[in-house]
Structure 1
Amino acid sequence: MSGAGDDGSDDDLAAAWGAAVEDESAANSAKVLNQAEIDSLLGFDDAPQADEKTGIEKIISSGLVSYERLPMLEIVFDRLVRLMSTTLRNFTSDNVEVSIDGIVSLRFGDYLNSVPLPAMLAVVKAQQWDNYGLLVVDSAMIYSIVDVLLGGRRGTAAMRIEGRPYTTIERALVERLIQVVLDDLGAAFEPLCPVSFRFERLEVNPRFAAISRLSNAAVLVRLRVDMEDRGGRIELLLPYATLEPVRELLLQQFMGEKFGRDSIWETHLAEELRHTEVALDVVLDEQTLPLSAITGLKPGDQLALNAAPGAPVRLRCGEVALFEGALGRRENRLAVRVERELLRPAPEDLAGRAA
């Protein structure tokens, strides 16, 4: 009887454990995270630790790209600002101040999504680099330049009428402004490398100004143009692919910097090589003899040369034939008069013969 009672109690205990496990799993599956737990999971706690990223912040930062710094490009843009300050004063007959708001590196797609509309986007081509760039003029700058060029009063802000397409006159005036900026941009690059920027087309929709893949890296320079109480922004975007032909020049810390090359030592080595003494041999004839004939030579033996009297001889340095000339006599010495230079075979011809 006792054995049967024990078996029953074991069955009851097992059933109780199973019910408890099912209740716990059901409770866990139905559990809902509160706002504090969600913030902690995504890494947005009220008091995050310094220099520590968690959750979604790590996921976002893992997709960022470390862009290469181009020191010489900053000097080019500084020169562009000085040139634009002068040319825009002459272009508008007004007091114009141009300054740089910032130079940043970002993805091309991120910039297209952040362009403040309405704006005009000029697609420009760097002809020597065979690639494209983007020049963006914002709405405030468009109305300011139209107001200035059409004789608007000084000291009054330009009137902005949003929600309508730009007129033909506005587009024509902005194209003139863009051409002035592109001329200055080419002049800014002139000390570094000759390049000319050509205006291609004008767009008002960023989707039609896609000159590069959305994931490609680009350099963006934001220029602020102030004309007393008027002004606006001009933004220049150059993809890294466009700057690739002059990447080595843009990596320089200063103009004319040499990478692993010393012109002083090059000149010194060239001068020393010119003063180096070399042996020059005059070859009358060459013959191929068996080794037995060479070892059998004795004093008094004669070797007949196949060169006739007055035949040209060759002057050689080592194994390299340099000149051909005539053998003669000058005073009591034999002399050779150089008559023509022998053309040396190209390296690829020598390689073909060896093969």
Structure 2
Amino acid sequence: MPDVLTESEVESLLAALEPDGPVAPAPAGRASMDADGVALYDFKRPERVSKEQIRALRGLHEGFSREFGAGLSNLMRTIVEVKLVAVDQLTYGEFVFSLENPTCFNLLRAEGLDGHMVLELSPAVVFPLVDRLLGGGRSTAAGDPPPDRPLTEIESRLVGRMTTLAISSLSRTWESLIELQLSLVQTESNPQLVQVVPPNEVVVLVAFELTLGEARGMMNLCIPFNTLEPVAGQFSGDAWSTYGKRSSDPREKVVLDRGVSRARVPLDVTLAVTTLTARDLAELAPGDVILTECDSREGLELRVGEKPAFRCRPGSLRGHKAVRVTGPVLKPVDPRLTPSAAEEERAKPPAQPASDPSTAASS
């Protein structure tokens, strides 16, 4: 019986027949140089997402992985680790044919982006999570392979809780860029039955690894480029931030208000300012009156932290010298303004701290 050549031996024989020796294949989706120095480009796999945008998407969804992992751990009452594995661009056809069949294929509608997204959960992690929700855990500990079947109606409803949690985390993650308003449109077990975009359309694939005990599985977020294109310009170093705006917590407002209300603020009131000669100062006696250029009808000026804030009048309170706040200090008016414009400028209320104008400040 003749000897059979191995695959490596066949490749070696074919490489020896090449006149210029073996040629290493160019990576898919990348431009390569031929012998004449011309860059070859594969139009079936165009690169429409820049490296800077890929890095921004990675940073954005790293925050999502942490938030979703914490929420999923709370739902399962055990530690579930969610780790971002890769962010890459490929065609939709390559993405679909790389998935298992059956799988948990969720089609999401993104109102803010006027398009769709795909959230796919691998059966290797879906069934252990469902088993955990139903009070089990035996298959998770033993590492048994997942059943080769679609989800039942009860299992689909339980997986829907995880999908809802992921949608909520995604919406909060993307709120720094746009309000997504994600909603679940369809759930399928066969990914080839759902045609979101043409097979040659470029998509961004964000891959996560979920770990529950000894069970490990992938969760894939597929974003078609035509869905991402309206906000693609925001994924740049000077226009994008990983952490978005967060709504203020009422408890934080109470703590801040209590802390600020106990802070000490220096108050200073100047009665009057005038100039005297040394002779007049030396000849002063009790009962003498010092004339100043300040109008008594205008009141005194109360400064808060070296800044004029209020008008006040002197007095006494419980045996202490005090001042009564009568109103805010009027803002200075530009002399170049007309009289009517100056009056409008004076009428504008200045920014002032929240306080009772009738409060007396004791000195």
Cα distance between partner residues in 1 of 2:94 and 2:172? 29
Structure 2: how far apart are the matches of 1:78 and 1:178?
A: 18
- Residue correspondence of structure 1 range 156-167 to structure 2 within 5 A: 156-157=141-142, 159-167=144-152
Matched residue, 1:201: 186
Which range is displaced more, 197-206 or 160-169?
160-169
Tell whether 2:236 aligns with 1:218.
no
- Please say if 1:137 is aligned against 2:132: no
Query: What residue is the counterpart of 1:323 in the other structure?
Result: none
Q: Displacement of 1:117 after TM fit? A: 2.4
- 2-structure distance, mates of 1:242, 1:114: 21
Residue 240 in structure 1 maps to residue 225 in structure 2: yes
CA contact under 8 A between 1:108 and 1:217: conserved in structure 2?
Answer: yes
Q: Hey, what does 2:82 align to over in structure 1? A: 98
* CA pair 157-174 structure 1, distance change in 2 beyond 3 A: farther
- Deviation digits for residues 249-288 of structure 1 (CA, Å, limit 9, x no counterpart): 123455369xxxxxxxxxxxxxxxxx9x99xxxxxxxxxx
Out of 106, 121, 125, the residue aligned to residue 109 of structure 2 is 125
In structure 2, the residue matched to 1:115 is 99
- CA RMSD in angstroms comes to 3.5
Contact 2:128 2:137 survives alignment (8 Å) = no
Q: Does 1:68 align with 2:49?
A: yes
Do the aligned residues in 1 keep the contact of 2:119 with 2:221 (CA within 8 Å)? yes
Amino acid at match of 1:179: T
Distance, in Å, in 2 between the alignment partners of 1:141 and 1:76 is 23
Task: Look up the match of 1:40.
Answer: 18
- 1:149 counterpart = 2:107: no
CA distance in 2, matches of 1:63, 1:82: 35
**Distance in 1 separating the partners of 2:220 and 2:80:** 17
Q: What letter matches 1:65 in structure 2?
A: P
Does residue 184 in structure 1 map to residue 162 in structure 2?
no
Say which SS state the counterpart of residue 133 (structure 1) adopts: strand
2:66 alignment counterpart: 82
Q: Match for 1:100: what amino acid? A: L
Q: How many residues align?
A: 225
Tell me how far apart the structure 2 counterparts of residues 161 and 78 of structure 1 sit (CA, whole Å): 28
Matches of 1:249 and 1:136, distance apart in 2: 26
- When residues 187 and 159 of structure 1 are mapped into structure 2, their CA distance, relative to the original with a 3 A threshold, is same
The Cα of 1:81 is off from its aligned counterpart by 0.9
CA offsets, 1:33-90, max 9 Å, x none? Answer: x96379638x9828899x8668xxx988464312322143222211101111211111
Contact 1:72 1:253 in 2 (8 A): no
The 1:152–1:231 alpha-carbon spacing in structure 2 relative to 1, beyond 3 Å, is: farther
Q: What is the alpha-carbon distance in structure 1 between the residues aligned to residue 113 and residue 64 of structure 2? A: 19
The alpha-carbon distance between structure 1 residues 150 and 159, as it changes in their structure 2 partners (threshold 3 A), is farther
Equivalent pair of 1:98/1:223 in contact (CA under 8 Å):
yes
CA distance in 2, matches of 1:242, 1:235: 16
Residue type of the alignment partner of 2:221: L
User: CA 1:40–1:226 in structure 2 vs 1: closer, same or farther (change >3 Å)?
Assistant: same
Unaligned runs of 5+ in 2: 1-11, 27-31, 243-333, 338-363
Determine if contact 1:144/1:232 at 8 Å carries over to the other structure: no
The question of whether the paired residues in 2 share the 8 Å contact of 1:72 and 1:254 is answered with no
Partner of 1:198: helix, strand, or coil? strand
Q: TM-score, normalised by structure 1?
A: 0.55
Structure 2 SS opposite 1:110: helix
Partner of 2:153: 168
Q: 1:39 to 1:116 in 2, by over 3 A?
A: farther
Deviation track 1:117-142 (CA, whole Å, cap 9, x = no partner) reads: 22111000101222101111111011
Q: How does 1:177-326 map to 2 (within 5 A)?
A: 177-253=162-238, 255=240
C-alpha displacement of 1:244:
1.7
The alpha-carbon distance between structure 1 residues 254 and 48, as it changes in their structure 2 partners (threshold 3 A), is: closer
* CA gap 1:48/1:249 in 2 versus in 1, 3 angstroms: closer
CA distance in 2, matches of 1:114, 1:214: 13
| Identity across the alignment (%) | 23
Single out whichever of 74-83 and 214-223 deviates more from structure 2: 74-83
Aligned pair in 2 of structure 1 residues 77, 206: CA closer, same or farther (>3 Å)?
same
Which one has the bigger helix percentage? 1
Q: Secondary structure at the match of 1:156?
A: helix
